[in-house]
């Protein structure tokens, strides 16, 4: 019976010690992910060769 209690104690202790390490490892792995590609901002430009209005004063 004493052996089972010690075994349970060490299993719980191992889980408690591994939990912060797992969170840290997950954060490090997340930081090394490649950035997502985002469409660059391209405003709607008038077709080439068309007259553009003069700039506002």
Per-residue model confidence (pLDDT) at position 9: 95
46 close to 52: Cβ distance less than 8 angstroms: yes
Question: Cα-Cα-Cα-Cα dihedral of 22, 25, 26, 32, to 10°?
Answer: 180
pTM for the whole structure: 0.42
The model's pLDDT over 3-50, given as tens digits with 9 standing for 90+, comes to: 999 999 999 999 888 888 888 888 888 777 776 777 777 777 767 767
Per-residue model confidence (pLDDT) at position 39: 72
Per-residue model confidence (pLDDT) at position 4: 92
Q: Is the pLDDT of residue 53 over 80?
A: no
């Amino acid at each position: 019976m004493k052996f089972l209690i010690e075994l349970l104690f060490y299993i719980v202790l191992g889980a408690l010690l591994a939990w912060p390490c797992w969170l840290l490892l997950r954060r490090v792995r997340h930081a090394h992910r490649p950035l997502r590609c985002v469409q660059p901002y391209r405003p709607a430009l008038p077709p080439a060769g068309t007259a553009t209005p003069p700039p506002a004063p």
